[in-house]
Copies of this chain bind each other. A is one copy, B any other.
Amino acid sequence: MELRQIKYFVKAAELLSFSEAARVLNIAQSTLSQQVRVLEDELGIQLFDRHSHVISLTEAGRELLPLALRTLHEADSCLARMQDLGKLATGTLNIGVTYSFSPILTETLLEFAKRYPGVRLNVLYKPMAELMELLSARSLDFVLAFRPSERIEGIESHVLFDNHLGVIVRDSHPLAAKQSVGADDLRRYNLILPSKGLQARNAFDRCVAQAGLAFDIHIELNEVNILLELIRHSNMITVLSEATIYNRTGIKAIPLELPGSEMEGCVHMLRNCYRKHSALEFIRLLRDSDAVRARARSWLD
């Protein structure tokens, strides 16, 4: 029993004519006749009464018609759902984001939600390492994070934009007017840093170690928003990627004069793995967003 045969049967049953049904279905009348016969043989029961001129449904045929229709509708809904998925009319998109990437994301998040209201968005804020675990376990479609210091097996990363570490201060801060900040400037103010393991902290530690320096850290905080609130209302300073304070008011980022402070904003995806249309479309939107466009490298097409 195949859907094709069911389709043929239904059309013939509706029109009560093999010839007419064959015309509508764009097949030869003989083919329809045959296929109905095959179906009847398989079901072990006659579906049509044949009189040389007229056909009519047997009891079995009358019983089958609504059931056959239901079957076709079920099959149709399979097709429709799959096509919708392709057109982003439905589905779920699981996105992992590091805290520092968050402000870059929000703009695109809103835009995507507006354009594709059928797609459910599931955004997870976590430290990079955890996100990579989840990505490997296929719980996430992609991760937005800066490139980690060491490659992770099975994951491919595409650079969205270049960024660098910056010293974050409030607008009224003495350092706010400077073009760049050196290591000595940092020592003059209370330095409050993101917790160890967070990406900006990793990068900062790395380039400090590289330069053979050492800093005495008074406060560590694993929540960037709160950290920035502290910065905004005090003369304390911190070091984050410049992108992290995108769109924030009352604070500014000043380039840090240390080698190795470059960071690459990346999309991380599982290698050799099917990419959802919605995922690719989201990344396309992200790449075209104001936050990213200025320094985007094009790898996506």
Contact = CB atoms under 8 A, between A and B. Distances in A.
A60 interface: yes
B79 A1 contact: yes
Nearest to A90: B63
A33 interface: no
A59 B139 CA distance: 11
Interface in A260-274: 272-274
Interface string A60-74: 100110011011001
Contact of A77 (B43, B48, B67, B81): B67
Contact of A56 (B1, B59, B138, B277): B138
A67 B85 contact: no
Interface in A273-301: 273-274, 276-277
Tell me how many chains of this kind the complex includes: 2
A74 B3 CA distance: 11
A51 B45 CA distance: 45
A78 B46 CA distance: 13
Of A44, A63, A78, A86, most B-chain CB atoms within 10 Å: A78
Nearest to A277: B45
B91 A63 contact: yes
B46 A79 contact: no
A246 to B, nearest CB: 30
B78 A67 contact: yes
A43 B83 CA distance: 7
Contacts of A68: 78
A37 to B, nearest CB: 13
A172 interface: no
A48 B1 CA distance: 25
Nearest to A94: B59
Interface of A: 1-4, 6, 43-46, 48-51, 56, 58-60, 63-64, 67-68, 70-71, 74-75, 77-79, 81-83, 85-86, 90-92, 138, 141, 272-274, 276-277
26 contacts: A1-B3, A2-B4, A6-B78, A43-B83, A44-B82, A44-B86, A45-B83, A45-B86, A45-B277, A48-B274, A49-B272, A49-B274, A58-B274, A59-B85, A59-B141, A60-B91, A63-B81, A63-B85, A63-B91, A64-B78, A67-B77, A67-B78, A68-B78, A70-B74, A71-B74, A74-B74
